[in-house]
Chains A and B, each alone.
Chain A
């Protein structure tokens, strides 16, 4: 079976770009987009990653967070206008000669929620293939720069629901937690073949290394958040939480997959033979729970116009799973797996996440910055808002998980309890090295 030389490459491109998109996060607030992704005020991220913020009163939040933000999805209108018959549009159907994989991938990476005012141009170069009896070489030209050199992927941890009781800053709760992570890295030979146009060698393996984990469970938690000094206008807040993690299920896989070229690449009818192998470990629901202990700490300082905070989550959160099954998996013509061990003990580790934030308000000007790391690299947002009567002007800069700089700017008008905001944000989510520009619009109810 002829295998996907560039199929693997395209998957790599797609997942790499997807990781970038996920890293930048989906944002439905035009105010936030206008500030390069920065949130001024009490955002979900602050409360999630800094337990001290549970004690910071809303009164300390001077930025006027809207009660409700309603996105205006102009991008959907644009998309449906461009593709009125989506179910039959050949560009999205792999069976069609008009199938456009790049358009499909770019649509996935840039969900058409907001208006794309400048599409990121795809490279416009020729791509050259050299084919001989024992020769295969690909020159992707400028498109080769889209092939990721380093490991790429996406992941993080999230917390779902956290019902509990609180008395005088002490809270007892049970939170649900999830952790997922998917990473891929092109092997040296495949990377050189795709990116550096190195000729394929006969009898040589070209592979992608992949790893993934997904786990979830719940955690009885006792936490504390309170002001330890000062008053409501100037105060120091401290928070902490101790979790006893109970893992319900997990699965982890490390796989090497790719293809091996024939002894003479085009000497027969099968120039490349696919292969795959790896180790999968899992503990299904119903097996013994995974057990582990971890904690969160956070501190926030409010002093007049200045607000500072630092929070760290899931410190030391290593779970031990006592009833794990391990299978080795293979692919050669057909896939099969073989048990390696059962009822063995394995461990997993939740990523340490952190956030640091600062805001400064003077008059009608608010400036802020935050650094957020959910386990796969830090994102940085710096921005501000200037109010001029009914009008607000905003701007910001962000650095995403792949260390690319993006820019945001925008504005809004607020009439009493209603606001209309517009924000522009550059992005490099597409299969392109150049930035596109998205225009977001949203209503806010204060």
Chain B
């Protein structure tokens, strides 16, 4: 099925081959998750050792860029930790793989959002920003990628820490540097 991605190769060729310019893909990941329920990760953390909760892996369809070389992938977005009870910290991790099951592997970890302090019944907005791990960025040249979110938290209080990590935006900026010239 080489022909399926051939056009994108040529597109990337046209793009990257235009002198020393780069092909830049801005992928609105949030648009694939919004309204599916996968943009919300409920968390429940008992007092004691840290715990985590995960979303269902979700497929993101891409045009595909053949054998193009992914140079870097920047991530930016917003998440609301809509805490309902308890006190502690909540962070977010992003996993990417070419298969749904593969996102469960620790090697699929693409980005870790630093923990944010949450307390009581109040939302805590947080910013997602960073670069995807170099281990996974080549996946963005494919025709599809599976994505999974994991909320991890620690409970420093005596009551159950519970709430929802609600994604409000997530965009990947994929920079491709093909060596056509």
Contact = CB atoms under 8 A, between A and B. Distances in A.
Interface stretch (B23-31, B106-114, B116-124): B23-31
Interface string B159-181: 00000000000000000000111
A9 B14 contact: yes
Contact of A127 (B18, B31, B32, B180): B18
A89 to B, nearest CB: 13
B33 to A, nearest CB: 9
Interface string A133-144: 111101011110
B180 A124 contact: no
A10 B143 CA distance: 21
B17 interface: yes
B26 A126 contact: no
A206 B61 CA distance: 20
Interface string B4-21: 111111110111111111
A10 B25 CA distance: 19
B19 A121 contact: yes
Interface stretch (A95-103, A332-340, A347-355): A95-103
A122 B25 CA distance: 21
Nearest to A136: B63
B74 to A, nearest CB: 14
B23 A126 contact: yes
A279 to B, nearest CB: 26
A380 B48 CA distance: 86
Nearest to B2: A95
Contacts of A127: 14-16, 18, 21-24
Contacts of A360: none
Interface residues of B, number: 40
Nearest to B178: A97
B64 interface: yes
A129 interface: yes
Interface string A209-228: 00000000000000000000
A102 B14 contact: yes
A326 to B, nearest CB: 30
B5 A2 contact: yes
A7 interface: yes
A5 B11 contact: yes
B18 A125 contact: yes
Nearest to B1: A1
Contacts of B5: 2
B67 interface: yes
Interface residues of A, number: 44
* Most chain A C-beta atoms within 10 Å of own C-beta, residue among B18, B32, B179: B18
B6 A130 contact: no
Contacts of B31: 132-135
Contacts of B9: 99
A130 B4 CA distance: 19
B63 A271 contact: yes
Interface string A1-34: 1111111011001000000000000000000000
A3 B7 contact: yes
A128 interface: yes
B20 A129 contact: no
Contacts of A121: 19
A146 to B, nearest CB: 9
A393 to B, nearest CB: 36
Interface string A256-267: 000000000011
Contact of A143 (B14, B28, B34): B14
B61 A143 contact: no
A271 B5 CA distance: 12
A240 B98 CA distance: 72
A123 interface: yes
Given A2-B64, A131-B27, A143-B14, A124 B21 contact: yes
* Most chain A C-beta atoms within 10 Å of own C-beta, residue among B3, B5, B60, B180: B180
Contacts of B22: 126-127
A21 to B, nearest CB: 19
Given A2-B5, A3-B7, A126 B21 contact: yes
A271 to B, nearest CB: 7
A11 to B, nearest CB: 9
Contacts of A4: 6-7, 10
A281 to B, nearest CB: 29
Nearest to A6: B11
A7 B8 CA distance: 8
A268 interface: yes
Nearest to B172: A131
A132 B26 CA distance: 8
B67 A97 contact: yes
Contact of B10 (A7, A97, A128): A7
Interface of A: 1-7, 9-10, 13, 94, 97-103, 121-136, 138, 140-143, 266-269, 271
| 6 closest residue pairs by CB, A with B | A124-B19, A127-B15, A4-B7, A132-B28, A6-B11, A132-B31
